[in-house]
């Protein structure tokens, strides 16, 4: 609880991601971050011959004047700036700055890319990743630059990504829910790139995330153990590669259990990100064969499935069981509470931060930390005997 309260007090890390070199800094390690921001501006030549005063700098970087004084003293000791009296302006020494190989070498840029989407889970996860990354990497001299790009459809957007590289000049790229097209681009540009979840296709980059494959595998076993034989995994608006992989998994699970697999019933796909299309998919499943359990990949699909079942006059879990592979902050307010998987985001992001900090890990394309979610029992799961 104390940790949660402490986190709530922090400033939103989005505020640190100005498109300009100067910008606010996080409260944690304030002196260090103010120092790094100051060095970044001096290195980039943001000012002319003289540096702004303490109060102006403190306002620019959103820290107290006392914190700014300490940061300025650290830079002054290295000879980047000088003054003869407390009231005299600080003179900038460009020749010293350009020759310096000290702390300015710590100033590294991480380009964080997130897909443009209206899925709440993706947006919430992106904010969580950003917050944890800032806590872990900012004190070590990393400058995190955040951009949203419309790559969730899987198309190659090389021009836009190349422009971002020119703009930010990052030492590393982290893509949330990366795509095979982005993995191919990363290998071409040779920029150290890491994925937080996503799909690699035929390419390889280091990836850490929650494995829906593992969760579906485990969820089917849970349902089988409760006597469920008619299980449907809805694959709505997912990439063809992903759908094929999951359909193969479900088919193998059914075959091993001596059951007949039907793609249209047990792993149906839809090609549009639309609630009406999703509901039509549910209708087709019900029309083909009564099912006793659904596995929903995300929270939106869980809510849509729950509403559809209730509209048909059925009850969860008495008539139909549901497992959701993701979680939402409002899940505990639902009735019944969903049986679902919690994603260990802190563990995932810490893994990524360790890889990014030791940038040489990029040469190891076999790095793969696909974790399973943490099972939360909930109240939407019951024996198939009660459903029949």
- Split at pLDDT 50, 70, 90, the class of 4 is very low
pLDDT at 362: 66
pLDDT at 281: 94
Domains in the chain: ranges and CATH: 20-105 (1.10.10.10), 108-205 (3.40.50.2300), 212-343+374-387 (3.40.50.2300)
Q: Which of 3-12, 148-157, 178-187, 353-362 has the highest mean pLDDT?
A: 178-187
- Split at pLDDT 50, 70, 90, the class of 386 is very low
**pLDDT, mean over the chain:** 84
Q: Are 343 and 325 in contact (CB under 8 A)?
A: no
Q: Which of 382, 352, 383, 387 is nearest to 369 (CA)?
A: 352
Question: Is the pLDDT reported for residue 200 higher than 90?
Answer: no
pLDDT at 319: 95
- Split at pLDDT 50, 70, 90, the class of 279 is very high
Report the range of poorest mean pLDDT among 39-48, 199-208, 264-273: 39-48
Report the range of poorest mean pLDDT among 68-77, 85-94, 218-227: 85-94
Question: Is the pLDDT reported for residue 366 higher than 90?
Answer: no
- Residue environment code for 148-173, b if the CB has 16+ CB neighbours within 10 A, otherwise e: eeebbebeebeeebeebeeebebbbb
Give CA separation, 246 vs 181, 298, 357, in Å.
Answer: 20, 15, 33
Q: Which of 122-126, 167-171, 217-221 has the highest mean pLDDT?
A: 217-221
pLDDT at 14: 37
More confident residue, 274 or 223: 223
Coil/strand/helix, residue 155? coil
pLDDT at 5: 42
pLDDT at 84: 80
Q: Average pLDDT of 116-123?
A: 67
pLDDT at 360: 62
Distance CA 188, CA 50 (A): 42
Report the percent of the chain where pLDDT is more than 70: 86
More confident residue, 170 or 239: 170
Which residues, including other chains, have CB under 8 Å from residue 211's CB and lie 6 or more apart?
370, 371, 372
Q: Encode pLDDT of 281-330 as tens digits.
A: 999 999 998 899 999 999 999 999 999 999 999 999 999 999 999 988 88
Local structure of residue 32 (DSSP, 8 states): H
Report the percent of the chain where pLDDT is more than 90: 47
Q: Average pLDDT of 254-275?
A: 93
Question: Is the pLDDT reported for residue 20 higher than 50?
Answer: no
Q: Average pLDDT of 236-248?
A: 89
Q: Which of 145, 136, 137, 138 is nearest to 164 (CA)?
A: 145
Q: Which of 75-89, 117-131, 287-301 has the highest mean pLDDT?
A: 287-301
First to last CA, the chain: 43
Length in residues, the chain? 388
Residue 109 main-chain phi, psi, to 5 deg = -110, 130
Question: Is the pLDDT reported for residue 131 higher than 60?
Answer: yes
- Split at pLDDT 50, 70, 90, the class of 10 is very low
Q: Are 165 and 103 in contact (CB under 8 A)?
A: no
């Amino acid at each position: 609880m104390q940790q949660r309260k402490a986190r709530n007090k922090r400033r939103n890390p989005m505020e640190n991601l100005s498109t300009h070199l100067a910008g606010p800094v996080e409260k944690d390690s304030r002196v260090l971050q103010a120092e790094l921001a100051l060095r970044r501006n001096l290195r980039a030549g943001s000012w002319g011959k003289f540096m702004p005063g303490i109060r102006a700098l403190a306002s620019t970087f959103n820290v107290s004047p006392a914190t700014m004084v300490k940061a300025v003293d650290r830079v002054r000791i290295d000879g980047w700036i000088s003054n003869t009296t407390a009231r005299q302006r600080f003179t900038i020494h460009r020749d010293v700055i350009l020759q310096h190989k000290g702390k300015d070498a710590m100033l590294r840029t991480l380009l964080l890319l997130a897909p443009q989407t209206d899925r709440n889970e993706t947006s919430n996860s992106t904010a969580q990743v950003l917050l944890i990354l800032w806590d872990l990497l900012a004190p070590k001299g990393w400058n995190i630059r955040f951009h949203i790009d419309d790559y969730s459809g899987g198309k190659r957007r090389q021009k836009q990504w190349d422009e971002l590289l020119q703009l930010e000049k990052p030492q590393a790229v982290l893509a949330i829910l990366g795509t095979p097209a982005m993995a191919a681009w990363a290998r071409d540009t040779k920029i150290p790139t890491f994925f937080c979840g996503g799909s690699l296709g035929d390419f390889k980059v280091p990836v850490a995330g929650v494995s829906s494959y593992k969760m579906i595998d485990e969820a089917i076993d849970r349902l089988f153990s409760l006597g469920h034989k008619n299980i449907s995994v809805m694959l709505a608006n997912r990439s063809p590669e992903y759908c094929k992989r999951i359909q193969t998994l479900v088919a193998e699970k059914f075959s091993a259990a001596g059951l007949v697999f039907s793609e249209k019933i047990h792993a149906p796909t839809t090609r549009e990100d639309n609630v009406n299309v999703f509901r039509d998919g549910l209708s087709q499943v019900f029309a083909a064969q009564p099912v006793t359990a659904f596995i929903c990949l995300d929270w939106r699909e869980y809510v849509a499935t729950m509403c559809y079942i209730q509209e048909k006059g059925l009850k969860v879990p008495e008539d139909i069981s549901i497992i959701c592979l993701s979680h939402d902050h409002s899940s505990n307010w639902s009735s019944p509470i969903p049986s679902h998987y919690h994603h260990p985001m802190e563990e995932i992001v810490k893994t990524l931060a360790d890889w990014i900090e030791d940038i040489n890990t990029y040469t190891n394309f076999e790095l793969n930390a696909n974790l399973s979610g943490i099972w939360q029992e909930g109240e939407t799961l019951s024996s198939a005997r009660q459903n029949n």
